[in-house]
Structure 1
Amino acid sequence: MEWKEISLTTSHEASEAGANIFFEIGAQGVVIEDPYVLDRYMQEDAWDCFDISLCSISEDVVIIKGYLPADSSFPGRLSSFNEKVNSLQEFFPDSPLEVAVCEVADENWASSWKQYYKTTKIGRRVVVKPEWEEYSPSQGEIIIEMNPGSAFGTGTHATTIMCVRLLEKYLGTGQIVFDVGCGSGILSIAAAKLGASFILARDIDTAAVSAAWHNAGINGITGCFEAEAGNFLDGVPGKAHLIVANIVSGAIIEFSPQAFEKLLPEGILIVSGIISERAKEVQEKMESTGFSLLETVTRGEWVAIAAKKLSAPNKAVFKG
């Protein structure tokens, strides 16, 4: 079978949004060449080796590559891809958004893209590894297996790393967790392996829900896991001890009142996907809703916040 490789050259800031577009059009594998991430991994000694020539990647751009079958559906997918990329210009006006297309033989991409995805320790205990790779865990390490061909993320993005580390700190054994905007399901899987008794994963994208179910199966957590499509926690019965939402700043602001209502007393809310420029705005909304901020952590230009539900919200939340 012949395949088409679509490449998008953009900035680090726009890379996550750009990568999501590949999954939205049904790409069967996505590679992200990000010098910022590679440099951080080398500094943290997070990977044992690199198969990527750093000299071949510009320090100023990120290259994202996705692969689709060269069949009758490709022209329509490419058109949709270009439309979605053009729409990013509104949100990232200073970022390059250059698209290129080339043909590639099946045997070339099917094996070569895997060199970019390595076992990575993303928390104090949590390690993410590709489904096909062998890894001998050290004492106390928790292993999450992922297949990025079916996932919306590999687990190595800064926002995911911060959420995992906050889960390690604040999640109690036997607690109920709601995962809002679950994507690949990696935070749900981490919660299950850290001791949660039940996890409900929610995403507005049905493809993300399917990916979450797939990865939950790989990790053997389906007995305490449920994933469904839906907006935030609309229509969800019951309450949770902890809610984690790795979404975007505006969505967190909108979701905060509902998160407060869906948490048990003294419940914990962990949020990320927040760009540093909007962190204060998100913090103020959470506090006015009735949350007490526990800590704010940063990684690059990204921010994550952990907060606790107070016994009663501030009166400001009820003002019309």
Structure 2
Amino acid sequence: MTTDWAEIACEVPAAMVDSLAAFLVELTGNGVSIENLHLDTFSLDSLEDSPVKQVKGYLPLDPALEETRSKVERFLVEHGPSFDGFVYVPPVVSTIRNEDWANNWKAYFKPVRIGERMVIKPTWEEYQEAEGDLMIQIDPGMAFGTGAHPTTRMCLESLERIWLQHGNGTLPEPALDVGTGSGVLSIAAALMGAQRIVAVDIDPEAVRVTEENLAINGVADRVAASTTDLAELKEEFGVVLANILAEELVRLSAQLIAVVRPGGWLILSGILTEKAAMVSAAFSTLTAVEAPTEAEWSCLTFRKEERG
């Protein structure tokens, strides 16, 4: 059965796109599109140089729509005046067919090389692998991310650096992927040799998409994907990855620190650079290792000290 979705379109100055996109993702739990280009979750790539952008959020067409529209209006009214050139324009709500959205954005998702060894390829594209490539095939489903956005790319590059410096050619195990989305990070961990990976997401649809992508990449036997709450995980992990919003990272900081084993690694992403210091402060009990940035985003890597 085809589902109808609501599209909420907002016109804002270019400087406001970043904060509005992050707000819509947090509010709706889905991806955003910008100037009619359906991009990766949060994606600000391929924007044209115009002073006003159109940012669109998506959510099911249900009784909660009016409340969501009101929240978007309040966000624009409260935050818009802080940006030069802002003129309040009420958000426009329209209906879009699931099947149309699910196919139109595919034209913008192409194979991309990340780090030294990884290539992310959509399942419908051809790509000639080079020797030693770690090929990650992805069918993201609706709005769960292709892996090409800076937040995910920096996570993957940090993970690869840990893998390459780890003496026996595999990742420290087990691995934990918090907010797995389409499963890109879990698949990468498996291709880097991890034999047991736990992937969790609050959205059952994300878990379904992840399980499909695990099967496509032949690593389903190594990854357990579920909606298990982070607080319910009692074991410790050699590598923990969390690519979620900065505020959520801070809220979950105690739980994330607790699941990193002594000597283990914690990679945090989804962080606007202006919020990186706030996130770092919440993880001050760990040793900061690196903090690469790309565009407006930061990725923070920490290590937990060995037990004395």
- State the TM bucket, normalised to the shorter chain: 0.7 to 0.9
Secondary structure in structure 2 of the residue aligned to 1:124: coil
Which residue of the other structure, out of 236, 242, 249, is the alignment partner of 1:252?
249
Q: Tell whether the 8 Å contact from 2:270 to 2:298 is kept in structure 1 after alignment.
A: yes
Alignment partners' CA distance in 2, 1:242 and 1:142: 19
Which residue of the other structure, out of 151, 167, 179, is the alignment partner of 1:159?
151
Letter in 2 for 1:6: E
Distance 1:58 1:5, change over 3 A: farther
Residue 168 of structure 1, CA deviation: 0.4
| 1:227 match | 225
Q: Tell whether the 8 Å contact from 1:128 to 1:145 is kept in structure 2 after alignment.
A: yes
Letter in 2 for 1:202: V
Alignment partners' CA distance in 2, 1:116 and 1:129: 12
Letter in 2 for 1:37: D
Which residue of the other structure, out of 22, 32, 38, is the alignment partner of 1:31?
38
Alignment of 1:162-177 (within 5 A): 162-171=154-163, 172=166, 173=170, 175-177=173-175
Letter in 1 for 2:18: H
| 1:113 match | 105
Alignment partners' CA distance in 1, 2:300 and 2:3: 45
Alignment of 1:47-58 (within 5 A): 58=50
Secondary structure in structure 1 of the residue aligned to 2:119: strand
Alignment partners' CA distance in 2, 1:100 and 1:152: 24
Deviates more, 1:239-248 or 1:81-90: 81-90
Residue 91 of structure 1, CA deviation: 8.7
| 2:116 match | 124
Secondary structure in structure 2 of the residue aligned to 1:8: strand
Task: Give CA deviations for 1:275-309 in whole Å, capped at 9, x if unaligned.
Answer: 2222122223322x2x1111111112211111110
Alignment partners' CA distance in 2, 1:75 and 1:245: 30
| 1:201 match | 199
**Matched positions, count:** 287
Letter in 1 for 2:231: D
Identity of aligned residues (%): 31
Alignment of 1:281-300 (within 5 A): 281-287=278-284, 289=285, 291-300=286-295
| 1:189 match | 187
Q: Tell whether the 8 Å contact from 1:151 to 1:208 is kept in structure 2 after alignment.
A: no
Task: Give CA deviations for 1:248-288 in whole Å, capped at 9, x if unaligned.
Answer: 2232223333333222221011111222222122223322x
| 2:302 match | 307
Alignment of 1:3-82 (within 5 A): 6=7, 8-9=9-10, 11-18=17-24, 24=30, 31-32=38-39, 36-38=44-46, 58=50, 60-61=52-53, 63-64=55-56, 74=61, 76=63, 79=66, 82=69
Alignment partners' CA distance in 1, 2:255 and 2:4: 44
Q: Tell whether the 8 Å contact from 1:119 to 1:128 is kept in structure 2 after alignment.
A: yes
Alignment partners' CA distance in 1, 2:72 and 2:244: 20
Q: Tell whether the 8 Å contact from 1:241 to 1:267 is kept in structure 2 after alignment.
A: yes
Q: Is 1:145–2:145 an aligned residue pair?
A: no
Q: Which runs of 5+ in 2 are unaligned?
A: none
Letter in 1 for 2:293: T
Distance 1:164 1:110, change over 3 A: closer
- Aligned-pair Cα RMSD in Å: 3.7
Residue 86 of structure 1, CA deviation: 4.0
Q: Tell whether the 8 Å contact from 2:61 to 2:95 is kept in structure 1 after alignment.
A: no
Letter in 2 for 1:31: H
Alignment partners' CA distance in 1, 2:261 and 2:210: 25
| 1:318 match | none
| 1:42 match | none
Alignment partners' CA distance in 2, 1:192 and 1:275: 28
Alignment partners' CA distance in 2, 1:207 and 1:87: 29
Letter in 1 for 2:53: V
